[in-house]
Amino acid sequence: MSSPSLKILVIEDEETVRIGLEDNLTLEGYEVVSCDNGRSGLETFSEQSPDLVILDVMMPEMDGLEVCRHIRGLKPDVPIIMLTAKCGEIDKVLGLEIGADDYLTKPFGMRELFARIKALLRRSQQVSSNGNGEGSTLEELSFGAVVVDFKSYRASRAGSEISLSAKEFELLKYLSSRPDIPVSRNQLLDEVWGYNSYPTTRTVDNFIARLRNKVEEVPNKPRHIVTVHGVGYKFVE
C-alpha cells in the first residue's frame, strides 16, 4: 500500500469517473483531493501542492490542456497523467507537448493507472532526492544551437528559450549521458518512466517526436536524437 503522505489531485468533470478514482486511490493509500472543473482544479493545485495530478482533457470552464499549461508554469516537475477520450489522439499529442508526463485513454483499467502512478511518483522522488535524476551527474549539455541546464530546468536554442517538460528533460538527459549508444524503448520506459508492466505503450515515441520538434533544426531529419531501426534511439553530439 502507498504512503498516506502522497497526495493526488483528480480533476475530472464526469462524476462517476471522479468518484471511482477517489475511492480506488484512497483504498490504495493515497490522500485524494478532487475537483469537477479546470478552474477550481487549478486553484486547488495552488492551495494543496499535490504530488501528482490526474487531469481530464475535456472539462468546463477551463480544459485540461490549459490547466496543464498553467501547472507547468507553477511547478514544472510535478507528474501529470492526462485522461483522453477514445478518439482523442490530438489531445494526447497536445498534452505531451504542453508538458503532461503520460496519458491514459478512457476507459482504462485501475491496475494500469496504479502502475503508472507508482512509476511516476518513484521517478519524481528520485529526482527530488538527488537533484540530478538517477544514474547520471550530467548538469549541462550543448549540441548544435541548443544549450541545456539540467539543474535549473532551462533550455535555449540559438539564444531563444525553449520550453521542455520535466519528463523531456529526463529523457534528453538519459540519452545524452550515453552518447552514440543505442537505447531500446523498453530501457527508456524502465529508466526514465520506471515502467516495467506495460512495455507496449507509445509514450516513448510520442516524447521523442515532441523533443525533436523543440531541439532539432530539421525535426523530420534529426541529427542528434537519432532512430536506430529495430533497436530504439541514440543521442549523437
- Give 59-88 pLDDT, tens digit per residue: 888 999 899 989 988 887 889 999 987 655
Q: What is the pLDDT of residue 10?
A: 98
* pLDDT, tens digit (0-9, with 9 covering 90-100), for 153-175: 889 999 999 988 878 888 999 99
* Alpha helices, DSSP H, located in the chain: 15-27, 38-48, 64-74, 89-98, 110-130, 166-176, 185-188, 203-215
4-13, 192-201, 209-218: the lowest-pLDDT one: 192-201
Q: Please state the rounded mean pLDDT for residues 193-217.
A: 77
Q: What is the pLDDT of residue 199?
A: 43
Q: What is the pLDDT of residue 157?
A: 92
The correct answer on CATH 1.10.10.10 for the domain covering 140-235 is yes
Q: Is the pLDDT of residue 117 over 80?
A: yes
What pTM was computed for the model? 0.66
* Cβ 179 vs Cβ 237: under 8 Å: yes
Whole-angstrom Cα Rg for the chain: 17
Q: What is the pLDDT of residue 132?
A: 43
For the chain, which residues make up each domain, given as ranges? 7-130, 140-235
Q: What is the pLDDT of residue 137?
A: 53
pLDDT averaged over every residue in the chain: 84
- Rounded to whole angstroms, the Cα distance separating 87 from 109 reads 17
Residue 28's identity, in one-letter code, is E
- Rounded to whole angstroms, the Cα distance separating 165 from 101 reads 8
**Domain 7-130: which CATH number of 3.40.50.300, 3.40.50.2300, 1.25.40.20, 3.30.1360.120:** 3.40.50.2300
Q: Mention every residue, 6+ apart, whose C-beta is less than 8 A from residue 81.
A: 52, 53, 54, 55, 100, 101, 102, 103, 104, 113, 116, 117, 120
Closest CA to 201 of 103, 107, 123, 125: 103
Q: What is the pLDDT of residue 133?
A: 44
- Rounded to whole angstroms, the Cα distance separating 68 from 163 reads 13
Q: What is the pLDDT of residue 93?
A: 65
Q: Is the pLDDT of residue 198 over 90?
A: no
